Structure 1
Amino acid sequence: MPTQALMTSVDIYCERTDASYWSEPINAITNLSFILAALWGYWIYHRLQRQNGDAKGDILILIALFLAGLIGVGSFLFHTHAQVWSSYADVIPIWTFVAYYLFLAIYRIVGTSLARAFRIYGITLVCIICVLWAFSNLLLATNATEAGGDGLNGSTQYLPGIIALYGFALVLQLRKHAARGWILAAALVFTVSIFFRTIDMDVCSDFPLGTHFLWHTLNGLFIGLLLQALVRFGRKKSVQVM
Protein backbone atom coordinates (compact mmCIF):
# COMPACT_ATOMS: atom_id res chain seq x y z
CA MET A 1 0.00 0.00 0.00
CA PRO A 2 1.41 3.45 -0.93
CA THR A 3 2.65 5.61 1.95
CA GLN A 4 0.14 8.31 1.07
CA ALA A 5 -2.73 5.84 1.42
CA LEU A 6 -1.44 4.71 4.82
CA MET A 7 -1.52 8.32 6.00
CA THR A 8 -5.17 8.81 5.01
CA SER A 9 -7.30 10.08 7.91
CA VAL A 10 -9.99 7.82 9.35
CA ASP A 11 -13.10 9.30 10.99
CA ILE A 12 -15.57 6.61 12.02
CA TYR A 13 -16.32 7.45 15.65
CA CYS A 14 -18.75 9.92 17.14
CA GLU A 15 -16.25 11.65 19.44
CA ARG A 16 -13.88 12.63 16.62
CA THR A 17 -14.71 16.02 15.10
CA ASP A 18 -11.52 16.67 13.10
CA ALA A 19 -8.23 15.05 12.07
CA SER A 20 -6.19 16.41 15.00
CA TYR A 21 -4.21 14.11 17.31
CA TRP A 22 -6.29 14.70 20.45
CA SER A 23 -9.75 14.79 18.89
CA GLU A 24 -10.78 11.59 20.72
CA PRO A 25 -9.44 12.10 24.26
CA ILE A 26 -11.96 9.84 26.02
CA ASN A 27 -11.69 7.09 23.42
CA ALA A 28 -7.90 7.30 23.72
CA ILE A 29 -7.65 7.40 27.52
CA THR A 30 -10.10 4.53 28.09
CA ASN A 31 -7.59 2.21 26.43
CA LEU A 32 -5.95 2.13 29.84
CA SER A 33 -8.58 -0.51 30.66
CA PHE A 34 -6.62 -3.04 28.60
CA ILE A 35 -3.39 -2.21 30.40
CA LEU A 36 -5.16 -2.57 33.75
CA ALA A 37 -6.59 -5.93 32.64
CA ALA A 38 -3.09 -7.17 31.82
CA LEU A 39 -1.73 -5.87 35.14
CA TRP A 40 -4.58 -7.54 37.04
CA GLY A 41 -3.78 -10.78 35.28
CA TYR A 42 -0.06 -10.46 36.04
CA TRP A 43 -0.77 -9.69 39.70
CA ILE A 44 -2.72 -12.93 40.12
CA TYR A 45 -0.16 -14.80 38.01
CA HIS A 46 2.70 -13.56 40.22
CA ARG A 47 0.71 -14.36 43.36
CA LEU A 48 0.12 -17.94 42.24
CA GLN A 49 3.72 -18.28 41.15
CA ARG A 50 4.94 -17.37 44.63
CA GLN A 51 2.26 -19.52 46.27
CA ASN A 52 3.36 -22.57 44.26
CA GLY A 53 7.07 -21.86 44.52
CA ASP A 54 7.31 -21.87 40.74
CA ALA A 55 10.64 -20.29 39.82
CA LYS A 56 10.34 -21.07 36.10
CA GLY A 57 7.06 -19.29 35.42
CA ASP A 58 4.75 -19.94 32.51
CA ILE A 59 5.82 -18.32 29.25
CA LEU A 60 2.57 -19.15 27.44
CA ILE A 61 0.50 -17.20 29.96
CA LEU A 62 2.99 -14.33 30.01
CA ILE A 63 2.62 -14.01 26.24
CA ALA A 64 -1.17 -13.76 26.64
CA LEU A 65 -0.74 -11.01 29.25
CA PHE A 66 1.64 -9.11 26.97
CA LEU A 67 -0.72 -9.38 23.99
CA ALA A 68 -3.60 -8.08 26.12
CA GLY A 69 -1.62 -5.00 27.07
CA LEU A 70 -0.63 -4.51 23.45
CA ILE A 71 -4.32 -4.14 22.51
CA GLY A 72 -4.44 -0.97 24.60
CA VAL A 73 -1.32 0.43 22.94
CA GLY A 74 -2.57 -0.27 19.42
CA SER A 75 -6.02 1.14 20.08
CA PHE A 76 -4.52 4.26 21.65
CA LEU A 77 -2.48 4.85 18.49
CA PHE A 78 -5.60 4.51 16.36
CA HIS A 79 -7.71 6.89 18.43
CA THR A 80 -4.98 9.53 18.43
CA HIS A 81 -3.39 9.31 14.98
CA ALA A 82 -6.62 8.06 13.34
CA GLN A 83 -5.01 7.08 10.05
CA VAL A 84 -5.02 3.92 7.96
CA TRP A 85 -1.65 2.74 9.29
CA SER A 86 -2.81 3.12 12.90
CA SER A 87 -5.97 1.13 12.12
CA TYR A 88 -3.64 -1.82 11.50
CA ALA A 89 -1.93 -1.09 14.82
CA ASP A 90 -5.40 -1.36 16.35
CA VAL A 91 -6.72 -4.47 14.58
CA ILE A 92 -3.60 -6.69 14.48
CA PRO A 93 -3.07 -6.89 18.29
CA ILE A 94 -6.78 -7.59 18.84
CA TRP A 95 -6.98 -10.53 16.45
CA THR A 96 -3.55 -11.81 17.48
CA PHE A 97 -4.77 -11.98 21.08
CA VAL A 98 -8.05 -13.64 20.05
CA ALA A 99 -6.28 -16.29 17.96
CA TYR A 100 -3.70 -16.99 20.66
CA TYR A 101 -6.17 -17.04 23.56
CA LEU A 102 -8.53 -19.36 21.68
CA PHE A 103 -5.82 -21.97 21.29
CA LEU A 104 -4.51 -21.55 24.82
CA ALA A 105 -8.01 -21.86 26.28
CA ILE A 106 -8.56 -25.14 24.46
CA TYR A 107 -5.13 -26.46 25.39
CA ARG A 108 -4.83 -25.24 28.96
CA ILE A 109 -8.28 -24.46 30.39
CA VAL A 110 -10.16 -27.38 28.81
CA GLY A 111 -7.04 -29.46 29.36
CA THR A 112 -6.76 -31.39 26.10
CA SER A 113 -3.61 -32.87 24.64
CA LEU A 114 -1.58 -30.67 22.32
CA ALA A 115 -2.57 -32.67 19.23
CA ARG A 116 -6.26 -32.61 20.15
CA ALA A 117 -6.05 -28.90 20.94
CA PHE A 118 -4.75 -28.21 17.42
CA ARG A 119 -7.57 -30.27 15.88
CA ILE A 120 -10.29 -28.50 17.86
CA TYR A 121 -8.62 -25.16 17.18
CA GLY A 122 -8.60 -25.80 13.44
CA ILE A 123 -12.25 -26.85 13.40
CA THR A 124 -13.22 -23.78 15.43
CA LEU A 125 -11.38 -21.44 13.07
CA VAL A 126 -13.14 -22.98 10.06
CA CYS A 127 -16.51 -22.53 11.79
CA ILE A 128 -15.73 -18.88 12.57
CA ILE A 129 -14.73 -18.23 8.95
CA CYS A 130 -17.94 -19.87 7.73
CA VAL A 131 -20.07 -17.75 10.08
CA LEU A 132 -18.30 -14.58 8.92
CA TRP A 133 -18.84 -15.58 5.30
CA ALA A 134 -22.53 -16.23 5.95
CA PHE A 135 -22.97 -12.88 7.68
CA SER A 136 -21.14 -11.11 4.85
CA ASN A 137 -23.43 -12.63 2.23
CA LEU A 138 -26.51 -11.77 4.29
CA LEU A 139 -25.42 -8.15 4.62
CA LEU A 140 -24.67 -7.90 0.90
CA ALA A 141 -28.10 -9.32 0.14
CA THR A 142 -29.78 -6.70 2.34
CA ASN A 143 -27.63 -3.87 0.92
CA ALA A 144 -26.49 -2.65 4.33
CA THR A 145 -25.13 0.87 4.04
CA GLU A 146 -24.81 2.00 7.64
CA ALA A 147 -21.57 3.25 9.21
CA GLY A 148 -18.92 0.55 9.19
CA GLY A 149 -20.29 -1.00 6.00
CA ASP A 150 -22.25 -3.76 7.72
CA GLY A 151 -25.21 -1.92 9.21
CA LEU A 152 -23.78 -2.52 12.69
CA ASN A 153 -21.00 0.06 12.70
CA GLY A 154 -18.41 -2.62 11.90
CA SER A 155 -19.45 -4.92 14.75
CA THR A 156 -20.37 -7.89 12.54
CA GLN A 157 -16.77 -9.13 12.69
CA TYR A 158 -17.22 -9.82 16.42
CA LEU A 159 -20.43 -11.86 16.20
CA PRO A 160 -18.65 -15.20 15.63
CA GLY A 161 -16.59 -14.40 18.73
CA ILE A 162 -19.76 -14.09 20.80
CA ILE A 163 -21.04 -17.40 19.48
CA ALA A 164 -17.73 -19.14 20.20
CA LEU A 165 -17.57 -17.59 23.67
CA TYR A 166 -21.02 -18.77 24.70
CA GLY A 167 -20.25 -22.17 23.21
CA PHE A 168 -17.07 -22.35 25.28
CA ALA A 169 -19.00 -21.30 28.40
CA LEU A 170 -21.55 -24.07 27.73
CA VAL A 171 -18.81 -26.70 27.36
CA LEU A 172 -17.26 -25.63 30.65
CA GLN A 173 -20.67 -25.64 32.34
CA LEU A 174 -21.37 -29.19 31.16
CA ARG A 175 -17.97 -30.21 32.50
CA LYS A 176 -18.60 -28.32 35.76
CA HIS A 177 -15.24 -26.67 35.18
CA ALA A 178 -14.14 -24.17 37.82
CA ALA A 179 -13.51 -21.52 35.14
CA ARG A 180 -17.08 -21.57 33.82
CA GLY A 181 -18.21 -18.54 35.82
CA TRP A 182 -15.35 -16.38 34.56
CA ILE A 183 -15.99 -17.28 30.92
CA LEU A 184 -19.75 -16.77 31.17
CA ALA A 185 -19.21 -13.40 32.84
CA ALA A 186 -16.80 -12.47 30.04
CA ALA A 187 -19.37 -13.45 27.41
CA LEU A 188 -22.09 -11.33 29.04
CA VAL A 189 -19.80 -8.31 29.33
CA PHE A 190 -18.72 -8.68 25.71
CA THR A 191 -22.34 -8.79 24.58
CA VAL A 192 -23.10 -5.46 26.29
CA SER A 193 -19.81 -4.06 24.98
CA ILE A 194 -20.71 -4.82 21.36
CA PHE A 195 -24.07 -3.13 21.84
CA PHE A 196 -22.36 0.13 22.82
CA ARG A 197 -19.90 -0.16 19.93
CA THR A 198 -22.77 -0.62 17.49
CA ILE A 199 -24.82 2.40 18.55
CA ASP A 200 -21.89 4.86 18.73
CA MET A 201 -22.65 6.79 15.53
CA ASP A 202 -26.42 6.53 16.01
CA VAL A 203 -26.41 8.52 19.25
CA CYS A 204 -24.19 11.37 18.02
CA SER A 205 -26.99 13.90 17.62
CA ASP A 206 -28.14 13.43 21.21
CA PHE A 207 -24.83 12.46 22.84
CA PRO A 208 -21.82 13.97 21.00
CA LEU A 209 -19.30 11.99 23.05
CA GLY A 210 -20.68 8.76 21.61
CA THR A 211 -20.49 5.32 23.25
CA HIS A 212 -17.26 3.92 21.85
CA PHE A 213 -15.47 4.70 25.12
CA LEU A 214 -17.82 2.21 26.79
CA TRP A 215 -16.70 -0.40 24.25
CA HIS A 216 -13.14 0.18 25.45
CA THR A 217 -14.01 0.19 29.15
CA LEU A 218 -16.16 -2.94 29.00
CA ASN A 219 -13.70 -4.70 26.72
CA GLY A 220 -10.98 -4.04 29.27
CA LEU A 221 -13.16 -5.86 31.80
CA PHE A 222 -13.92 -8.57 29.23
CA ILE A 223 -10.22 -9.17 28.53
CA GLY A 224 -9.52 -9.04 32.25
CA LEU A 225 -12.06 -11.80 32.94
CA LEU A 226 -10.63 -13.96 30.16
CA LEU A 227 -7.13 -13.51 31.57
CA GLN A 228 -8.31 -14.38 35.07
CA ALA A 229 -9.77 -17.64 33.78
CA LEU A 230 -6.48 -18.41 32.05
CA VAL A 231 -4.19 -17.39 34.90
CA ARG A 232 -6.21 -19.16 37.58
CA PHE A 233 -7.24 -22.33 35.74
CA GLY A 234 -4.98 -22.55 32.70
CA ARG A 235 -1.64 -22.98 34.39
CA LYS A 236 0.41 -26.14 34.08
CA LYS A 237 -0.94 -27.08 37.49
CA SER A 238 -4.21 -25.23 38.04
CA VAL A 239 -4.78 -23.65 41.42
CA GLN A 240 -8.12 -22.13 42.35
CA VAL A 241 -8.06 -18.73 44.03
CA MET A 242 -11.21 -17.50 45.75
Structure 2
Amino acid sequence: MASEWWEPLRDYCERSGPGLLAEPSNAVSNAAFVIAAILLLRRGRAPDPVADGFAWLIGVIGLGSAVFHTLAVQWAMLADVIPITLFIHAYFFLALRRFLGFSALAALAGTLAFAAAAAFFEPALSRLAGQPFGALSNGSVAYAPAALALFGVGAASWRFGKRDGAALIGIGALFLVSLTARTLDAALCPILPLGTHWLWHLLNACVLYGLVRAARRAGPA
Protein backbone atom coordinates (compact mmCIF):
# COMPACT_ATOMS: atom_id res chain seq x y z
CA MET A 1 0.00 0.00 0.00
CA ALA A 2 2.84 2.40 0.83
CA SER A 3 4.19 2.02 -2.69
CA GLU A 4 0.98 3.53 -4.08
CA TRP A 5 1.97 6.89 -2.62
CA TRP A 6 5.01 6.87 -4.89
CA GLU A 7 3.20 5.96 -8.09
CA PRO A 8 3.98 8.52 -10.84
CA LEU A 9 1.20 10.71 -12.21
CA ARG A 10 0.81 12.23 -15.66
CA ASP A 11 -2.19 14.45 -15.12
CA TYR A 12 -1.03 17.44 -17.17
CA CYS A 13 -0.23 18.06 -20.81
CA GLU A 14 3.32 19.32 -20.28
CA ARG A 15 4.52 16.15 -18.53
CA SER A 16 5.67 13.63 -21.10
CA GLY A 17 7.57 11.35 -18.73
CA PRO A 18 9.19 11.01 -15.28
CA GLY A 19 11.68 13.45 -13.83
CA LEU A 20 11.82 16.56 -11.71
CA LEU A 21 12.06 18.87 -14.72
CA ALA A 22 9.37 17.25 -16.85
CA GLU A 23 6.93 20.12 -16.11
CA PRO A 24 9.12 23.25 -16.13
CA SER A 25 6.35 25.73 -16.95
CA ASN A 26 3.91 24.23 -14.46
CA ALA A 27 6.58 24.19 -11.76
CA VAL A 28 8.11 27.63 -12.30
CA SER A 29 4.75 29.38 -12.67
CA ASN A 30 4.09 28.64 -8.99
CA ALA A 31 6.49 31.47 -8.22
CA ALA A 32 3.49 33.73 -8.87
CA PHE A 33 1.93 32.55 -5.60
CA VAL A 34 5.11 33.32 -3.66
CA ILE A 35 5.31 36.77 -5.26
CA ALA A 36 1.66 37.41 -4.39
CA ALA A 37 2.34 36.41 -0.78
CA ILE A 38 5.35 38.72 -0.52
CA LEU A 39 3.41 41.66 -1.94
CA LEU A 40 0.56 41.07 0.51
CA LEU A 41 2.94 40.91 3.47
CA ARG A 42 4.50 44.28 2.70
CA ARG A 43 3.49 46.68 5.45
CA GLY A 44 1.51 49.51 3.91
CA ARG A 45 -1.71 49.43 5.92
CA ALA A 46 -2.84 48.90 9.48
CA PRO A 47 -1.82 45.49 10.89
CA ASP A 48 -4.20 42.67 9.97
CA PRO A 49 -2.92 39.34 11.32
CA VAL A 50 -5.76 37.40 9.69
CA ALA A 51 -5.00 38.77 6.22
CA ASP A 52 -1.30 38.13 6.84
CA GLY A 53 -2.13 34.53 7.70
CA PHE A 54 -3.89 34.13 4.37
CA ALA A 55 -0.87 35.67 2.63
CA TRP A 56 1.39 33.05 4.19
CA LEU A 57 -1.07 30.36 3.11
CA ILE A 58 -0.84 31.60 -0.49
CA GLY A 59 2.92 31.07 -0.28
CA VAL A 60 2.36 27.54 1.02
CA ILE A 61 -0.02 26.89 -1.90
CA GLY A 62 2.73 27.87 -4.33
CA LEU A 63 5.32 25.68 -2.65
CA GLY A 64 2.95 22.72 -2.39
CA SER A 65 1.99 22.99 -6.04
CA ALA A 66 5.65 23.24 -7.05
CA VAL A 67 6.37 20.03 -5.13
CA PHE A 68 3.52 18.30 -6.94
CA HIS A 69 4.57 19.45 -10.41
CA THR A 70 8.17 18.38 -9.88
CA LEU A 71 7.76 15.04 -8.07
CA ALA A 72 4.39 14.16 -9.67
CA VAL A 73 3.58 11.29 -7.31
CA GLN A 74 0.48 10.46 -5.30
CA TRP A 75 1.61 11.83 -1.92
CA ALA A 76 2.82 15.09 -3.48
CA MET A 77 -0.72 15.68 -4.74
CA LEU A 78 -1.74 16.16 -1.10
CA ALA A 79 0.81 18.98 -0.79
CA ASP A 80 -1.03 20.63 -3.67
CA VAL A 81 -4.65 19.94 -2.69
CA ILE A 82 -4.67 20.42 1.10
CA PRO A 83 -3.49 24.09 1.22
CA ILE A 84 -5.91 25.03 -1.57
CA THR A 85 -8.83 23.34 0.20
CA LEU A 86 -7.88 25.06 3.45
CA PHE A 87 -7.77 28.45 1.75
CA ILE A 88 -11.17 27.99 0.10
CA HIS A 89 -13.01 27.07 3.28
CA ALA A 90 -11.16 29.46 5.59
CA TYR A 91 -11.76 32.33 3.17
CA PHE A 92 -15.45 31.46 2.89
CA PHE A 93 -15.68 31.79 6.68
CA LEU A 94 -13.78 35.10 6.53
CA ALA A 95 -16.01 36.39 3.71
CA LEU A 96 -19.16 35.68 5.69
CA ARG A 97 -17.67 37.60 8.62
CA ARG A 98 -16.16 40.60 6.83
CA PHE A 99 -18.41 41.10 3.83
CA LEU A 100 -21.78 39.98 5.19
CA GLY A 101 -21.33 40.68 8.90
CA PHE A 102 -22.15 37.17 10.13
CA SER A 103 -21.38 36.27 13.72
CA ALA A 104 -18.57 33.76 14.23
CA LEU A 105 -21.07 30.99 15.03
CA ALA A 106 -23.24 31.75 11.99
CA ALA A 107 -20.17 31.93 9.74
CA LEU A 108 -18.97 28.57 11.07
CA ALA A 109 -22.37 27.00 10.39
CA GLY A 110 -22.39 28.50 6.90
CA THR A 111 -18.88 27.22 6.20
CA LEU A 112 -19.78 23.69 7.30
CA ALA A 113 -22.87 23.80 5.08
CA PHE A 114 -20.71 25.02 2.18
CA ALA A 115 -18.20 22.21 2.75
CA ALA A 116 -20.98 19.61 2.76
CA ALA A 117 -22.56 21.02 -0.39
CA ALA A 118 -19.18 21.17 -2.16
CA ALA A 119 -18.50 17.52 -1.29
CA PHE A 120 -21.73 16.41 -2.97
CA PHE A 121 -21.57 18.84 -5.90
CA GLU A 122 -19.56 16.76 -8.36
CA PRO A 123 -21.23 13.39 -7.54
CA ALA A 124 -24.65 15.01 -7.94
CA LEU A 125 -23.72 16.44 -11.35
CA SER A 126 -22.32 13.09 -12.44
CA ARG A 127 -25.52 11.28 -11.46
CA LEU A 128 -27.66 13.80 -13.31
CA ALA A 129 -25.55 13.66 -16.46
CA GLY A 130 -24.86 9.95 -16.35
CA GLN A 131 -21.12 10.50 -16.75
CA PRO A 132 -18.21 11.57 -14.51
CA PHE A 133 -18.07 15.36 -14.61
CA GLY A 134 -14.66 15.40 -13.00
CA ALA A 135 -13.03 13.71 -15.97
CA LEU A 136 -15.05 15.76 -18.45
CA SER A 137 -13.84 19.04 -16.89
CA ASN A 138 -10.28 17.83 -16.31
CA GLY A 139 -10.97 18.04 -12.56
CA SER A 140 -11.98 21.71 -12.65
CA VAL A 141 -15.57 21.01 -11.60
CA ALA A 142 -14.24 20.56 -8.05
CA TYR A 143 -13.63 24.33 -7.98
CA ALA A 144 -17.12 25.23 -9.21
CA PRO A 145 -18.55 25.58 -5.65
CA ALA A 146 -15.80 28.11 -4.85
CA ALA A 147 -16.71 30.14 -7.94
CA LEU A 148 -20.40 30.05 -7.06
CA ALA A 149 -19.59 31.13 -3.50
CA LEU A 150 -17.57 34.08 -4.79
CA PHE A 151 -20.44 35.32 -6.94
CA GLY A 152 -23.00 34.63 -4.21
CA VAL A 153 -21.18 36.44 -1.42
CA GLY A 154 -20.19 39.22 -3.82
CA ALA A 155 -23.77 39.76 -4.99
CA ALA A 156 -25.12 39.73 -1.44
CA SER A 157 -22.47 42.18 -0.25
CA TRP A 158 -23.12 44.45 -3.23
CA ARG A 159 -26.83 44.29 -2.51
CA PHE A 160 -26.09 45.62 0.98
CA GLY A 161 -24.30 48.59 -0.55
CA LYS A 162 -20.72 47.48 0.03
CA ARG A 163 -18.30 48.20 -2.80
CA ASP A 164 -16.25 45.14 -1.91
CA GLY A 165 -19.11 43.05 -3.28
CA ALA A 166 -18.36 44.33 -6.78
CA ALA A 167 -14.69 43.48 -6.24
CA LEU A 168 -15.59 39.89 -5.34
CA ILE A 169 -17.71 39.57 -8.47
CA GLY A 170 -14.82 40.85 -10.60
CA ILE A 171 -12.43 38.43 -8.93
CA GLY A 172 -14.96 35.67 -9.53
CA ALA A 173 -14.96 36.49 -13.25
CA LEU A 174 -11.15 36.25 -13.30
CA PHE A 175 -11.42 32.93 -11.46
CA LEU A 176 -13.67 31.60 -14.24
CA VAL A 177 -11.01 32.56 -16.79
CA SER A 178 -8.36 30.73 -14.76
CA LEU A 179 -10.63 27.68 -14.46
CA THR A 180 -11.05 27.70 -18.22
CA ALA A 181 -7.28 27.57 -18.63
CA ARG A 182 -7.13 24.63 -16.23
CA THR A 183 -9.95 22.80 -18.01
CA LEU A 184 -8.52 23.19 -21.51
CA ASP A 185 -5.05 21.90 -20.60
CA ALA A 186 -5.63 18.37 -21.92
CA ALA A 187 -7.88 19.37 -24.82
CA LEU A 188 -5.34 21.82 -26.26
CA CYS A 189 -2.37 19.52 -25.73
CA PRO A 190 -2.12 18.42 -29.39
CA ILE A 191 -1.54 22.00 -30.53
CA LEU A 192 0.02 23.49 -27.36
CA PRO A 193 2.72 21.14 -26.02
CA LEU A 194 3.11 23.25 -22.87
CA GLY A 195 -0.59 23.02 -22.15
CA THR A 196 -2.41 25.76 -20.27
CA HIS A 197 -2.08 24.65 -16.66
CA TRP A 198 0.72 27.15 -16.08
CA LEU A 199 -1.74 29.91 -17.00
CA TRP A 200 -4.07 28.62 -14.28
CA HIS A 201 -1.26 29.17 -11.79
CA LEU A 202 -0.57 32.74 -12.93
CA LEU A 203 -4.22 33.79 -13.00
CA ASN A 204 -5.10 31.99 -9.79
CA ALA A 205 -2.26 33.75 -7.98
CA CYS A 206 -3.89 37.03 -9.06
CA VAL A 207 -7.26 35.75 -7.81
CA LEU A 208 -5.92 34.87 -4.36
CA TYR A 209 -4.02 38.16 -4.15
CA GLY A 210 -7.22 40.05 -4.97
CA LEU A 211 -9.22 38.11 -2.40
CA VAL A 212 -6.84 38.90 0.42
CA ARG A 213 -6.64 42.54 -0.62
CA ALA A 214 -10.43 42.75 -0.61
CA ALA A 215 -10.63 41.16 2.85
CA ARG A 216 -8.00 43.56 4.15
CA ARG A 217 -9.93 46.55 2.80
CA ALA A 218 -13.15 45.28 4.38
CA GLY A 219 -11.42 45.19 7.75
CA PRO A 220 -12.09 43.00 10.79
CA ALA A 221 -15.66 41.85 11.35
Q: Normalising by the residue count of structure 2, what TM-score does the alignment of the two structures yield?
A: 0.93
Superposed counterparts of 1:110-125, under 5 Å = 110-125=100-115
Structure whose CA Rg is larger: 1
1:116/1:182 Cα in 2 relative to 1: closer, same or farther (>3 Å)? same
Residue 150 of structure 1 aligns to a residue in which SS? Answer: helix
Whether contact under 8 Å (2:157, 2:165) holds in the other structure is: yes
Q: Report the aligned-residue RMSD.
A: 1.7
Residue 222 of structure 1: aligned partner: 207
Whether contact under 8 Å (1:197, 1:214) holds in the other structure is: yes
| Structure-2 separation of matches of 1:82 and 1:185 | 33
Residue 145 of structure 2 aligns to a residue in which SS? Answer: helix
Residue 21 of structure 1: aligned partner: 20
Residue 95 of structure 1 aligns to a residue in which SS? Answer: helix
Matched, 1:201 2:193: no
| Partner AA of 1:34 in structure 2 | F
Residue 75 of structure 1: aligned partner: 65
Match of 2:118 among 115, 119, 128: 128
Count of aligned pairs: 221
Extract unaligned runs of 5+ from structure 1.
Answer: 50-56, 237-242
Residue 18 of structure 1 aligns to a residue in which SS? Answer: coil
Moved more, 105-114 or 69-78: 105-114
Matched, 1:91 2:91: no
| Structure-2 separation of matches of 1:6 and 1:184 | 39
Matched, 1:181 2:166: yes
Deviation for aligned residue 1:196: 0.9
| Structure-1 separation of matches of 2:53 and 2:101 | 18
Moved more, 97-106 or 128-137: 128-137
| Structure-2 separation of matches of 1:143 and 1:71 | 27
Deviation for aligned residue 1:233: 1.1
Residue 45 of structure 2: aligned partner: 48
Residue 54 of structure 1: aligned partner: none
| Structure-2 separation of matches of 1:134 and 1:164 | 17
| Structure-1 separation of matches of 2:30 and 2:10 | 18
Q: Normalising by the residue count of structure 1, what TM-score does the alignment of the two structures yield?
A: 0.85
CA offsets 1:7-64 (integer angstroms, 9 cap, x no match): 1100011111111100111111111111122222222xx2112xxxxxxx44322221
